[in-house]
Structure 1
Amino acid sequence: MSDVNPVLIVGALIVSYFLGTIPSALIVSKRGGIDVTAAGSGNPGTSNVVRLLGWKYGLVVFVADVLKGSLAVGIGGWVAGERVSFFAYACGYAAVIGHTFPVTRKFHGGKGVATGGGAMYVLYPWMSLVLCTSWFVLRKATGKSAVASLIITIAVPIYVVFIRQVLWEDFAALGLVVLIILRHIPNIKRLRNKEENAA
């Protein structure tokens, strides 16, 4: 990375952030005739779109949000010259932050699960495929997307710590997980009070 043009580094981070800000759920839900931020849970994410418009629309949002994270990490890996690199992680972070705190929508965004999952897919493909499958199983078993999302999110640093065994990756994965969990605090409170939406 030391021989990479600083302008390219900054540019990649900015592009990754703005990739994250693309309002997939808003665009898709408006095609379905509703504003996802003003209905259901109000969260501009896959689960709320599924709840309001069904899996057909929800799947489009999911794929679009996954692509945001995947493209960002791909850009970072290309700039760094290595797929699993600190800079690839940094670009993944930028996309998740763009998704959760988009400057284009006054910093009111989604939870970051699908975008973070897209980032993880490029970094750790096999782990991501297992966790993606697990999400659908857990969601079916519990009836709650938030529970499935929290469980697979927590599983990420466990995989990285015990399988990858690279210290900086441990902290990088943990940081991303903490960010996503913090975005789920309202869901955690509703789960505790048995008020969380089923979807």
Structure 2
Amino acid sequence: MINALLIIAAYLLGSLSSAIIVCRLMGLPDPRTQGSNNPGATNVLRLGGKRAAAITLLGDSLKGFLPVLAAKLIGVPPLVLAAVAMAAFLGHLYPLFFRFQGGKGVATALGVQFGIHWQIGGLVALIWLLMAKGLNISSLAALVSMALAPLVVWLIWPVPALIGMQIVMSLILFWRHRSNIRNLLAGSEGKIKQ
């Protein structure tokens, strides 16, 4: 029973869209209808600047981090921990409270990774930062870091359920970024500083 409650709570927490809430509170346009039409931190950066984006990034990360950390502290088995992680992630992608129109999941996935093990989150975040700094393209940094994330999990905490969860999460992230991938191939993907 406690495992089911943890999974449901993780999905509901994931369903709180930080981008939409931050934009409403700060009087900014709805990120689902402006900019890239994606309710995520990168689009909020374009619409409202660094402060709004930082709050969004923190909120999206925490809703992945907190339920996973709570499940881990309770001592659930790895399969349940993986299910809690996926529930939080899917809540962000398909939020119950916002007509199932969610973001692409990078910040929430990173929060999940920090919740599972700080070294996993730290290494994936470092890969993202290095790629973003070098290439100035958020989506490409996300795709590279999440492509390598299953390997990072395998290196730091090689538990089959968690590796499998990360593979599925990374595949979903690639699917959610399919328009970005098309733009990257066409050379028309937007830069972070734009």
Q: So what's the TM-score if we normalise by structure 1?
A: 0.89
Unpaired segments ≥5 residues, structure 1: 1-5
Change in Cα spacing, 1:136 to 1:162, as seen in structure 2 (3 Å) is: closer
- 1:72 to partner: Cα distance: 1.6
Runs of 4+ more than 6 Å apart? none
Q: Does 1:51 align with 2:41?
A: no
- Asked whether the 8 Å contact 1:75–1:91 carries over to 2, the reply is no
Shift of 1:171: 1.6
Tell me the distance in 2 between the aligned counterparts of 1:50 and 1:168: 35
Q: CA deviation at 1:43?
A: 0.3
Identity %: 30
Decide whether the 8 Å contact of 2:11 with 2:88 is kept in 1. yes
CA contact (8 A) 1:77 1:87 kept: no
Q: Does 2:179 correspond to 1:186?
A: yes
Cα distance between partner residues in 2 of 1:163 and 1:72:
20
Structure 2 residue 84 is matched with structure 1 residue 100: no
Q: Is 143-152 or 131-140 further displaced after alignment? A: 131-140
1:59-118, CA deviations, whole angstroms, 9 ceiling, x for partnerless residues? Answer: 110111110001120232244x15x72212211100110000112222211011111110
Tell me if the contact between 2:35 and 2:47 (Cα under 8 Å) persists in the aligned partners: yes
Deviates more, 1:168-177 or 1:151-160: 168-177
Aligned to 1:173: 166
TM-score of the superposed pair, with normalisation by structure 2: 0.91
- The one-letter amino acid paired with 1:99 is H
* Contact 1:65–1:118 (CA under 8 A) maintained in structure 2: yes
CA RMSD of aligned residues (A): 1.7
User: What is the Cα deviation at residue 44 of structure 1?
Assistant: 0.2
